Structure 1
Amino acid sequence: MGGGGGGHDPFDIFQSFFGGGGSSRGRRQRRGEDVIHPLKVYLEDLYNGTSKKLSLSRSIICSKCAGLGQKSVASLKCPGCQGSGMKVSIRHLGPSMIQQMQHPCNECKGTEETINDKDRCTQCKGEKVVQEKKVLEVIVEKGMQNGQRITFPGEADEAVATHHHRDIVFALQQKEHPKFKHKGDYLFFEHNLSLVEAPCGFHFVLTHLDGRHLLIKSQPGDMDDWQTHSPQILSILPFLGVA
């Protein structure tokens, strides 16, 4: 992306917002021209809504040389690949056996041209792009679903060839909740009963995702079909975050 030089990851997004360490390059996925990042959220975040501020660095066209990487408009054909942008290497596998492989030219990085050191842009150092720091505020709206995507148009790297900004897309990934299961517009909650509570009635207080306390109760005989070995109730609550 962006031609910003080898080994540099232009999306140095803070790891804490993505649920773990490691290189963000390994987690980033490309779909067309979009740059997709997983964003881990709690079930409480989807129910109540939340916002997260993410710091990133992206590549943009150098304003001093307009993406040429040099002072003059004329460019030099790369001598390493003769302007093709590709090189062919041959590997000998055995007697009368060779393997031919094609790969981007290591001298011009596939751009098909080279820049004279004396003519190199002093701002981008011939890379054609510079790094820009930005802070994006991702708004997780109340009632959003696991897997839903939040798009920031034109906030990814700027392509040198087309000067077109790609989009950044955050895909919500809900972390497993210890009590509730979220399916569509409903919350599911399981509660184990004692052998006395099942036939004789019960009541207990359930703490909801927004901190409210709900009284769950039944009268004697309401659960005549309870299981002797594992009495259990399943409560189904509307996912009120959608309201």
Structure 2
Amino acid sequence: MADHYETLGVSRDATQAEIKKAYLKLARKLHPDVNPEPEAAEQFKAVTEAYDTLSDPQRRQQYDHGGAGGMGGGGFGFGDIFDAFFGGGAGSRGPRSRAQRGQDALIRLDLTLDEVIFGTHKDVEVGTAERCEVCDGTCCAPGTSPRMCTDCNGAGEVRRQVRSVLGPVVTTAPCEVCQGYGDVIDQPCGDCHGQGRVRARTTIPVDIPAGVDSGMRLHMPGYGEAGPGGGPNGDLYLEIRVREHETFTREGDNLAALVEISMMDAVFGTSTTIPGLDGEIALDIPAGTQPGDLLRIPDRGITHLRSNKRGDLEVTLQVRIPTKLDARQKDLLREFQTLDGAQDPKLSTQKHGLFSRLRGKFGR
């Protein structure tokens, strides 16, 4: 019978970590799924037998003193074989934790254009999971604690020896009694039914920065659902939707508006004010204003998302032509027409006039 240490290629004083590392290296090379050579199966069987003996301290001691050794409790199971081929760690998997991270939450938040200019504060009510105050996330009734599972001795998994075409193999599976946790809760908390968290509605204060736009998401780490078993909270995402305004249209950080003026105001010019989203806005309309002319008012748009600078307000002027005239008004306009000189209608060479500007701004 070959020496187990020689089979694995390690010294007789090798550590458990060195023995397992040697086995992983050989298993990757000799496993039948990787190496189809007939002798590879026998070599893999010998390597597995050597590891089964040397990986268990008691069996190794018996082997070193001339005993047969054999299949030890520290044998290599299917899970360890998967580790060998898919990069598993060298340490034991151990019991799984009851504490798990909570789920993330997504809330849609409607804002008005007024609220977007300078930012705003909102108290957002959310239906979520919160840590149970009665058991503080332990899942146990007050005054009690979990007991170690006696079926797996706290390991969270059980090992069973089965025979295969390659010889004896140790399989590892989660413990059915403790569900892989390694402990058992005999008296679960009555408020959370052993979950460590309860459903609740809570109010979260949120500061919305200026300049946000529809489709943006604000990330609030740790404001999502509490995790089961006292696990950490997930994150909260606020998806922004800015409602349309009846007067102003947003174009990036600029605002756009359409202002109607009379024909006489277009001819002679005028000064007026219009209501803005953050106070009155003064407009100076020059004489000779043409339909579709644009007035730009600096710093009356939206505040930039990452600075205090504001965009502009762009006002497109629409000249209102009177449709109902009395006799005196008609006479005066005919007199003006005579003085101005009759001009036949003709095509304009300006390709960026009133209609193209209005279509570009208002989509109409």
Q: TM-score range by the shorter chain?
A: 0.5 to 0.7
Q: Deviations over 1:163-209 (max 9, x none)?
A: 24211111221111111111112111111233333333233212222
Q: Which residue of 2 aligns with 1:35?
A: 105
Q: Check whether the contact 1:203–1:216 (CA below 8 A) recurs between aligned residues.
A: yes
Q: Which residue of 1 aligns with 2:114?
A: 44
Unaligned runs of 5+ in 2: 1-102, 150-178, 310-364
1:188 aligned onto 2:256: yes
Q: Check whether the contact 1:37–1:169 (CA below 8 A) recurs between aligned residues.
A: yes
Query: Which among 272, 292, 307 is matched to residue 204 of structure 1?
Result: 272
Query: Which among 60, 64, 77 is matched to residue 135 of structure 2?
Result: 64
CA distance in 2, matches of 1:54, 1:184: 26
CA distance in 1, matches of 2:259, 2:131: 58
SS in 1 for 2:303: helix
Deviation of 1:125 after TM superposition, in Å, equals 2.6
Query: Which among 218, 224, 238 is matched to residue 170 of structure 1?
Result: 238
CA distance in 2, matches of 1:65, 1:136: 21
Identity %: 20
Higher RCO, Cα 8 Å, sep 6+? 1
**Higher-strand-fraction structure:** 1
* Distance 1:204-1:42 versus aligned 2 partners, 3 A rule: same
Instruction: Give the aligned residue type for 1:41.
Output: L
Q: Which residue of 2 aligns with 1:55?
A: 125
Instruction: Give the aligned residue type for 1:186.
Output: N
The two structures have a TM-score, normalised by structure 1, of 0.55
CA distance in 1, matches of 2:136, 2:208: 39
1:241 aligned onto 2:303: yes
Deviation of 1:143 after TM superposition, in Å, equals 3.2
Query: Which among 216, 219, 226 is matched to residue 283 of structure 2?
Result: 216
* Distance 1:146-1:219 versus aligned 2 partners, 3 A rule: same
CA distance in 2, matches of 1:133, 1:194: 55
Deviation of 1:44 after TM superposition, in Å, equals 1.1
Instruction: Give the aligned residue type for 2:236.
Output: I
Q: Check whether the contact 1:35–1:156 (CA below 8 A) recurs between aligned residues.
A: yes
CA distance in 1, matches of 2:200, 2:147: 24
Instruction: Give the aligned residue type for 1:64.
Output: C
Alignment of 1:92-103 (within 5 A): none
Q: Deviations over 1:91-145 (max 9, x none)?
A: xxxxxxxxxxxxxxxxxxxx99xxx9x8442232344422456432111223333
Instruction: Give the aligned residue type for 1:145.
Output: D
Q: Rg: which structure is higher?
A: 2
CA distance in 1, matches of 2:217, 2:148: 43
The two structures have a TM-score, normalised by structure 2, of 0.38
Deviation of 1:150 after TM superposition, in Å, equals 2.2
CA distance in 1, matches of 2:130, 2:281: 52
Deviation of 1:146 after TM superposition, in Å, equals 3.5
Deviation of 1:38 after TM superposition, in Å, equals 1.2
* Distance 1:235-1:149 versus aligned 2 partners, 3 A rule: farther
Q: Which residue of 2 aligns with 1:7?
A: none
Q: Which residue of 2 aligns with 1:78?
A: none
The size of the alignment, in residue pairs, is 166
Unaligned runs of 5+ in 1: 1-32, 76-110, 227-231
CA distance in 2, matches of 1:146, 1:235: 27
Q: Check whether the contact 2:131–2:230 (CA below 8 A) recurs between aligned residues.
A: no
